[in-house]
Structure 1
Amino acid sequence: MNRIQGRRAVVLGGAGFLGSHLCERLLADGAFEVISVDNFVTGDERNLTGPRANKRFMSLHHDITEPFDFNGPVDFVFNMASPASPIDYAQLPIETLRVGSLGTENGLKLAHRKGAVFLQASTSEIYGDPLVHPQREDYWGNVNSIGPRSCYDEAKRYGEALVAAYRRVHQVRTRIVRIFNTYGPRMRLEDGRVVPAFVGQALRGEDFTVFGDGGQTRSFCYVSDLIDGIVRLALSDVEEPVNIGNPREMTILQFAEAVRAAMGGGGRITFEPLPKDDPKQRQPDITRARTLLGWEPRVALEDGLRETIAYFRGVADRPAHPRDAQKQHLDTGAAI
């Protein structure tokens, strides 16, 4: 029997890119009820169009830095809530720190009260600009605690520490997923990350903007693979952090060429200075995910890009998310 079937799940940040895909997956797996909690600062109500058509779905407009509770049982709490693009957390540094600290603890308190499994969505950014390659879960990182990216990095590092403390002190059943670069439908076209940045530039007939010399590396995981890893982890007994990402490493220049091929063309490549503390290498060691969860990515980059580009073509003319309308001029294009 599918162990999601008949269960009740709360998804914090359920209107975001990853949160909305997770809501759909849980509903498809037969969850008794899925509740999204989101304040829509970076999440988008339009991402919930599919789940809202399901009677087993509920959306709550709420800031999780403020306390919240639900009547009845809760079996899983998935904490997907946080600004996750460099533009967002550059404009919302205090909010990013608050949701990573106060918001995470409010989610943990709910899981403690209900006896639920709590899954924390952490990030490869906790490794900083790594000196170990590829990155394993036992690597402690090379981080700048006061740099321009620190509000996000340190919020996620604190979140992991808080999760571990609640497991030790209150015996909350916790899981930690460290998410590497993920892409797919429902990313915001102007959110500053490299996938929508390149696709958006190609759709507008612009040149591709590469930061630095383009030799920095990333590893791109399609969203359905990432969500499958998260669900497997939530249903497991694994308490240690687990990297979920695609170990196929490529340079940003190689990725630009992959987007050009998927689009059937594109402009020339131009270069801009590399943003401060932008990591030079990103590649997950997924040995733990393979051995403990039986998970590995299955969607080829070429297939995932085709689906992502089709989505962006379909939404290119719709109104931007209010945050993007306010801050397009701050787009760094940072490849995270």
Structure 2
Amino acid sequence: MFKKERQDGRRKALVAGGAGFVGSHLCDALLAEGTDIICVDSLLTGSFDNVRALENHPGFRFIEHDITSTLTIGDEIDEVYNLACAASPPRYQADPSHTLLTNVVGTANLLALAEQHRAAFLQASTSEIYGDPEVHPQPETYRGSVNCTGPRACYDEGKRAAETLCFDHLRQERVDARVARIFNTYGPRMQQDDGRIVSNLIFQALQGRPLTVYGSGRQTRSFCYVSDMVAGLIALMRVSPNPGAPVNLGNPEELPVIELARRVLDLVPGAKDIDFLPLPEDDPQRRRPDIARAKALLDWEPLVPLSKGLASTIDWFAALSPENPDRGKIREKDAEGTYNGYEHQPSP
């Protein structure tokens, strides 16, 4: 209904947020299957280090650009993946207005680009749209319990509005849009200072500091390894026909945060005990995806057990070079306000 056939038989994908944690793994996977990549990232929270190994790949192109400004691409595009938004509370709350605009204006800009190219579009939404859920586990039919004026609203409501834009474009037959509701994802390339549970605990443990657990630690999360998440995103982009509804992607194994901290303590020699701090406002008490729809439509479910994924993530953090202490941190621009080694597309 939407996409024309490519004459050369090749596929080209634009990955917004492609220098971020999940986005960079998605770039790796797409290139490995033979898809050419245009990686777009503002580098506000992403890091070029995440895609540096792809720099000289003939099928890879990097553009520094903030999607809140119009993006022009001359190449023919078949797929647009929108993963462009800070995903950890400290990062998205640092500039809440920009977070909201990234989700709303940025998504609108990318949908316009997809419409122009008649490209399939995948929106990375979030389990945060369920808020502090009153239904457990959370199916896609649940409408959520979100505080629309709270400190997390810039992200929660921004993602909900982005979903609205996607389904409006789909109903109007303007864009072949799909929506993935992503639950907690972890793995190598998480930023050590990004404020998310897994990276926080591992980085603290490796530094020999007490592990920070908020509240009682009895609140639960479900942790999906990044390779499983990427496989789910690609499967959702490629499934036919379009599901016409959001699809949860996550690991249905539910774990109390305190248990996650204990597992990290067991895996990191010399790690100290746990330090309990007050629970942040609007922090969800339970989080677990119902993935029946993903199983039925995509034939997808997570394969990597937490024990294996956690060990791989700890190994990656432990291998960060002491000579390059900023490897896992957000990079700052140089004195001229630019980055070297890749294309910069200025905002109009």
Question: TM class, shorter-chain normalised?
Answer: over 0.9
Pick from 138, 142, 146 the counterpart of residue 135 of structure 1. 138
Match of 1:110 in 2: 113
Mapped pair 1:315 → 2:324: no
Q: What is the CA–CA distance in structure 2 between the aligned matches of 1:49 and 1:270, rounded to whole Å?
A: 36
Q: What is the CA–CA distance in structure 1 between the aligned matches of 2:33 and 2:62, rounded to whole Å?
A: 18
Look up the SS of the partner of 1:50 in the other structure: helix
Q: What is the CA–CA distance in structure 2 between the aligned matches of 1:316 and 1:178, rounded to whole Å?
A: 34
Match of 1:100 in 2: 103
Q: What is the CA–CA distance in structure 1 between the aligned matches of 2:270 and 2:290, rounded to whole Å?
A: 33
Q: What is the CA–CA distance in structure 2 between the aligned matches of 1:201 and 1:292, rounded to whole Å?
A: 39
What amino acid sits opposite 1:278 in the alignment?
Answer: D
Match of 2:27 in 1: 23
What amino acid sits opposite 2:212 in the alignment?
Answer: T
Q: What is the CA–CA distance in structure 2 between the aligned matches of 1:230 and 1:202, rounded to whole Å?
A: 31
Q: What is the CA–CA distance in structure 2 between the aligned matches of 1:120 and 1:321, rounded to whole Å?
A: 24
RMSD: 1.3
Mapped pair 1:184 → 2:193: no
Contact 1:119/1:177 (8 A) holds in 2:
yes
Q: What is the CA–CA distance in structure 2 between the aligned matches of 1:124 and 1:101, rounded to whole Å?
A: 17
What amino acid sits opposite 2:300 in the alignment?
Answer: W
Q: What is the CA–CA distance in structure 2 between the aligned matches of 1:81 and 1:298, rounded to whole Å?
A: 26
Look up the SS of the partner of 1:230 in the other structure: helix
Match of 1:13 in 2: 17
Give the Å deviation of 1:306. Answer: 1.1
Match of 1:39 in 2: 42
Match of 1:195 in 2: 198
Give the Å deviation of 1:133. Answer: 0.2
Match of 2:303 in 1: 298
Distance 1:295 1:265, change over 3 A: farther
Mapped pair 1:222 → 2:238: no
Which string of whole-angstrom CA distances, capped at 9 and with x for unpartnered residues, describes residues 313-332 of structure 1?
A: 12263223247xxxxxxxxx
Q: Give the TM-score normalised by structure 2.
A: 0.89
Q: How many residues get paired?
A: 319
Contact 2:67/2:109 (8 A) holds in 1:
yes
Match of 1:71 in 2: 74
Pick from 198, 209, 225 the counterpart of residue 206 of structure 1. 209
Match of 1:270 in 2: 275
Contact 1:24/1:50 (8 A) holds in 2:
no
Contact 1:129/1:281 (8 A) holds in 2:
yes
What amino acid sits opposite 1:16 in the alignment?
Answer: G
Contact 1:10/1:78 (8 A) holds in 2:
yes
Q: What is the CA–CA distance in structure 2 between the aligned matches of 1:321 and 1:97, rounded to whole Å?
A: 20
Q: Which has the higher helix share?
A: 1
Which string of whole-angstrom CA distances, capped at 9 and with x for unpartnered residues, describes residues 222-279 of structure 1?
A: 0000000000000013221100000000101111111112224521112111000000
Q: What is the CA–CA distance in structure 2 between the aligned matches of 1:242 and 1:169, rounded to whole Å?
A: 20
Which string of whole-angstrom CA distances, capped at 9 and with x for unpartnered residues, describes residues 174-211 of structure 1?
A: 11000000000000001000101100110110111110
Contact 1:176/1:242 (8 A) holds in 2:
yes
What amino acid sits opposite 1:15 in the alignment?
Answer: A
Pick from 84, 87, 104 the counterpart of residue 87 of structure 2. 84
Q: Give the TM-score normalised by structure 1.
A: 0.93
Contact 1:39/1:61 (8 A) holds in 2:
yes
Give the Å deviation of 1:74. Answer: 0.7
Look up the SS of the partner of 1:59 in the other structure: strand
Match of 1:175 in 2: 178
What amino acid sits opposite 1:257 in the alignment?
Answer: R
Match of 1:327 in 2: none
Match of 2:346 in 1: none
Q: Which runs of 4+ in 1 moved over 4 A?
A: none
Match of 2:148 in 1: 145
Q: What is the CA–CA distance in structure 2 between the aligned matches of 1:239 and 1:74, rounded to whole Å?
A: 22
Distance 1:316 1:156, change over 3 A: farther
